[in-house]
């Protein structure tokens, strides 16, 4: 009797691994993206807080800084995940992303990472992940992607 | 392209874009907002910053105030400076240091006297372009005080004798262990008079008031805001709004963001200072630290 072909099991990455990978990526982004603005913000005697976005305190230059940091952070996550299926944090933690669809589209990596650059979405994402039984992020689910152990 | 080559390429592009945007913003004057720096001068004006461990509220060390003034001067977005004064004065040198720094700043500076802006604090206020004070505030007090505690009779009562060994007859002038001689009193009074005269000159020059008029006012008497206005010691009665309106007028700007240039004491600062204090007191002993003050006037002081 012919042997049954075993279906390849997808081993989901644990929350701890995913969080650590995110922390590593955040440190890299701080160094590469935010650091060049440090001198300017220091000279302005300003500490940027996300809540400042909702006040009238921010002026055009600070909006540009916020926008630049957000876009470049998104490019970091999207470009690396689209081409390599991994960011530096994920490489270190030995995890990667896969598409649950047949194809792997750029729109999927943009959707799954949009919450990482908009704090309020990240907050919703984390709450959803903690409450959901499968411990998946909301934007991970929407993008039809999965983080697995490499 | 290999994996790490691709990662380095992406990081390089991101850093380059970020760097270019930051340099563009730094160089674009029109993007910067107009700001008014508020620098507080609270409590007694001293030269050192060791008077308050936690909040730096009890004293305004001249080094801290001068550093804040320098930051505000350097910042191109700061179009004017308001000194928020609530101080009864302090040491002559510290007041003079701050006053001299203000005179060198080529941005408009306005004083806003809240509850008290007397003596050394008033000296500082006179060096600004305009003085706004509350009608009920206390200001003026143009005078100099030089006092010390004298323990000689107390020491006598407990059988403690002061052995005087000096090289130079005035070396122990002001020691708390003996009474001042008439000659010493005259000497100290003459020094106080010199400082008083310098204070009078400073107020007369800064406020453009006749020297004799200032001399008449400089009895050490304090004046309420309204009286000070009548005597020409201040320019306007009011609060922060009036000070802001004046500084905007002097800076020729319509709108401005008000930013406090108060130095924030970080947790690391507090821990560092507490550690330093603890080491000092453990090392020397509390008793030694008390006697250190007395020793500073003793035969061993330089």
Does residue A57 sit at the B interface (CB-CB below 8 Å)? Answer: yes
Tens digit of each residue's pLDDT (9 = 90 or more) over B118-159: 999 999 999 999 999 999 999 999 988 887 788 888 888 888
Q: How many structural domains are present in chain A? A: 1
Quote the domain boundaries for residue A28: 15-149
Query: SS3 of B37, please?
Result: strand
Give the best residue of A41, A44, A73, A89 to mutate against chain B (max B CB count within 10 A): A44
The structure tokens listed for A12 are 């989901």
Range of the domain at B52: 31-141+221-265
> A146: which strand partners?
A98
Assign B113 to helix, strand or coil: strand
Q: Please name the member of A45, A64, A75 whose beta carbon is closest to the beta carbon of B25.
A: A64
| A130 inside domain | yes
Residue B214 scores a pLDDT above 70: yes
Query: Are B40 and B187 part of one and the same domain?
Result: no
Is residue A30 included in any domain, yes or no?
yes
A3 within a domain of the structure (yes/no)? no
ipTM of the complex: 0.84
Q: Does A27 touch chain B (CB under 8 A)?
A: no
Residue B289: pLDDT band (50, 70, 90) is very low
Q: Any chain A CB within 8 A of the CB of B32?
A: yes
Give the model's pLDDT for residue B148. 77
Q: Please check whether residues B120 and B64 belong to one and the same domain.
A: yes
Mutation choice for A interface testing from B14, B39, B263, B266 by most A CBs within 10 A: B14
CA distances from A61 to A47, B26, B127, B230 (A): 14, 9, 34, 45
pLDDT digits (tens, 9 = 90+) for A118-128: 878 888 998 99
Structure confidence at residue B57 (pLDDT): 52
Q: Are residues B194 and B165 in the same domain?
A: yes
- The verdict on residue B244 lying in a domain is yes
Which pLDDT belongs to residue B302?
32
Residue B215 lies in a domain: no
Report, as an integer, the average pLDDT of B241-268: 82
Q: Taking CB atoms and an 8 Å limit, are B10 and A39 in contact across chains?
A: no
Residues B177 and B78 in one domain: no
Q: How far is A133 from chain B (nearest CA, A)?
A: 34
Residues 97-156 of B with CB under 8 A from A: none
Q: Higher confidence at residue B260 or residue B245? A: B245
Same domain, B241 and B136: yes
For chain B, the domain total comes to: 3
> What's residue A102's pLDDT?
84
Contact criterion met (CB below 8 Å) for B217 and B142: yes
Question: What is the average pLDDT across B163-172?
Answer: 86
Full-model pTM: 0.59
Q: Which one of B14, B17, B31 has the shortest CB-CB distance to A61?
A: B31
- Residue B222 dihedral angles phi and psi, to the nearest 5°: -95, 155
For strands B138-140 and B78-90, give the pairing.
unpaired
């Amino acid at each position: 009797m012919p042997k049954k072909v075993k279906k390849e099991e997808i081993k989901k990455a644990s929350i701890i691994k995913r969080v650590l990978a995110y922390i590593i990526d955040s440190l890299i982004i701080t160094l590469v993206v935010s650091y060049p603005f440090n001198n300017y913000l220091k000279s302005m005697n300003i500490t940027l807080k996300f809540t400042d976005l909702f006040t009238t305190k921010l002026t055009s230059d600070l909006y540009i800084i916020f926008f630049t940091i957000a876009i470049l952070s998104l490019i970091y996550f999207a470009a690396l995940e689209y081409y390599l299926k991994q960011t530096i944090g994920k490489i270190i933690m030995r995890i990667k992303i896969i598409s649950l669809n047949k194809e792997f589209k750029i729109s999927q990596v943009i959707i799954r990472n949009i919450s990482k650059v908009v704090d309020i979405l990240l907050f919703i994402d984390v709450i959803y992940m903690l409450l959901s039984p499968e411990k998946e992020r909301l934007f991970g689910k929407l993008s039809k992607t999965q983080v697995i152990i490499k | 392209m290999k994996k790490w080559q691709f990662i380095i390429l992406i990081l390089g592009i991101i850093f380059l874009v970020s760097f270019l945007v930051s340099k563009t913003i730094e160089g674009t004057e029109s993007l910067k907002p107009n700001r008014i720096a508020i620098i507080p001068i609270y409590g007694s004006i001293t030269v050192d910053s060791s008077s308050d461990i936690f909040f730096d509220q009890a004293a305004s060390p001249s080094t801290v105030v001068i550093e804040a003034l320098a930051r505000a001067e350097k910042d191109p977005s700061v179009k004017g400076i308001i000194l928020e004064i609530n101080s009864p004065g302090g040491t002559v040198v510290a007041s003079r240091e701050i006053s001299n720094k203000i005179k060198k700043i080529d941005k408009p500076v306005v004083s806003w006297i809240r509850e008290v802006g007397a003596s050394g604090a008033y000296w500082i206020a006179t060096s600004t372009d305009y003085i706004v004070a509350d009608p009920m505030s206390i200001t003026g007090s143009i005078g100099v005080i030089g006092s010390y505690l004298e323990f000689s009779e107390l020491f006598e009562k407990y059988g403690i004798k002061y052995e005087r060994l000096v090289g130079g007859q005035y070396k122990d002038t002001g020691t708390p262990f003996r009474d001042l001689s008439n000659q010493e009193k005259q000497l100290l009074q003459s020094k106080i008079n010199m400082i008083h005269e310098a204070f009078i000159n400073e107020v007369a020059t800064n406020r453009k008031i006749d020297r004799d008029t200032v001399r008449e006012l400089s009895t050490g008497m304090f004046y309420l805001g309204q009286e000070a206005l009548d005597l020409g010691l201040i320019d306007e009665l009011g609060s922060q709004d009036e000070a802001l309106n004046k500084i905007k007028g002097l800076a020729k700007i319509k709108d401005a963001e008000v930013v406090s240039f108060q130095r924030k004491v970080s947790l690391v600062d507090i821990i560092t200072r507490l550690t330093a204090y603890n080491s000092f007191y453990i090392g020397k002993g509390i008793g030694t630290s008390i006697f250190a003050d007395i020793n500073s006037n003793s035969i061993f002081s330089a």
